[in-house]
Amino acid sequence: MDSTDEVVDLIHLADRPGTSGHSVSVRVLGRSRPGNLLGHDFLECEIVIVAESLSATFSVTLLPEDLEDWEEALATLETRRFAMWLTSGRTVSLEFKPDGHDRMSVSAYDGPASGVTVTVPLFALPTGWVGKQRDLLARVHEVYPREVVETSPGAYEWRRNSDA
């Protein structure tokens, strides 16, 4: 990871202050292989889940399409429906189960490595939480813009400024 990388949240879901203190975050730590054409746009991240007596952290590498999938999951969550994210089987997957009353449970399943599932209830999500998640996604795109383009299957090159 390059020392100039900025740590930013992609996801931060937490109870309102003064409630349980439960939270689920996905923190982008930096590019996976900065300057390497085939890994430059991959992002090293950690999923952090906090509850009363539990703190769990899972390391994940996100691909550019994972960010697109998160945007789709947010559209589903905005309608207060169940959504899954990171379902490829290569990394930890997340399930979001809203109950329609500003509450949601979030589960992280580490199928590829430990087989552990951690579920945390979020009892009082703040008003506008979906918009806040979209703002975080936009910030990740701003800090870590996609800089590699696939010109044909298996052929990659650096994106030119005029392509952005």
Domain spans, the chain = 8-147
pLDDT value for 121:
93
Residues 6+ apart with CB under 8 A from 161: none
pLDDT value for 119:
94
Do the beta carbons of residue 105 and residue 120 sit within 8 Å? yes
Q: Running DSSP on this structure, what letter comes out for residue 7? A: P
Cα–Cα distances (Å) from 30 to 25, 55, 108, 125, 145, in that order, read 15, 22, 21, 28, 12
Cα(62)–Cα(59) distance, rounded to whole angstroms? 10
Cα(35)–Cα(86) distance, rounded to whole angstroms? 25
**Helix crossing, 64-78 with 129-143: angle to 10°?**
170
CB atoms within 10 A of CB 83: 20
pTM: predicted TM-score of the whole model, two decimal places = 0.90
pLDDT value for 32:
95
Q: Amino acid identity of 34?
A: P
**What dotted CATH number matches 8-147?**
2.30.31
Do the beta carbons of residue 5 and residue 34 sit within 8 Å? yes
pLDDT value for 100:
75
| Nearest one of 138, 119, 128 to 16, comparing CA atoms | 128
pLDDT value for 160:
82
Bridge partners for 24 per DSSP? 13, 49
Residues in the chain, pLDDT under 70: 1-4, 161-164
Q: Provide the b/e sequence for 93-126 (b: ≥16 CB within 10 Å).
A: bbbbbbeeebebbbbbbbeeeeeeebebebeebe
pLDDT value for 102:
81
